[in-house]
């Protein structure tokens, strides 16, 4: 779990005070701050997920746009199924089952 620090941020100028508000000349709201290392890790994980999503999108688009030649529907179907199994396999570590 990421450690956070409770602070106060002015809704006008953006100034941050911690651990309490200033003398009251600003209008503050409570915010939670995280360390730079935690933020960078989260950003890297988000970028990796965006890259994976783009790859999955490209693979699924092939499936959506496929038009087999006449008399080759069965072979095309099996090839597309194999490709989709690869896509599903690449998502196995991030996929969560849908509730029932």
- Where are the domains positioned within the chain? 4-36, 43-90
pLDDT tens over the chain, length 100 residues: 678 888 877 777 777 777 665 666 667 778 888 888 889 999 999 999 899 889 888 888 887 787 878 888 888 888 888 888 888 887 777 766 555 4
- The confidence score (pLDDT) of residue 90 equals 79
Token pair 């092939």: residue? 62
Q: Coil, helix or strand for 4?
A: strand
- In terms of C-beta density within 10 A (0-12 exposed, 13-18 middle, 19 or more buried), how is residue 89 classed? exposed
Q: Coil, helix or strand for 49?
A: helix
b/e map 34-50, b = 16+ CB within 10 Å: eeeeeeeeeeeeeeeee
How many other CB atoms sit within 10 Å of the CB of residue 1? 4
pTM of the model: 0.57
């Amino acid at each position: 779990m990421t450690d956070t620090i409770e602070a106060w941020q002015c809704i006008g100028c953006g100034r941050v005070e911690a651990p309490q508000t200033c003398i009251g000349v600003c209008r503050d709201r409570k915010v939670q701050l995280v360390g730079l290392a935690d933020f960078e890790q989260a950003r890297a994980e988000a970028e990796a997920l965006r890259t994976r999503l783009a790859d999955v999108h490209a693979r699924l688009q092939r499936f959506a746009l496929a038009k087999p030649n006449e008399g080759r529907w069965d072979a095309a179907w099996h090839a597309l199924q194999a490709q989709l199994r690869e896509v599903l396999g690449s998502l196995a570590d991030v996929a969560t089952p849908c509730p029932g």
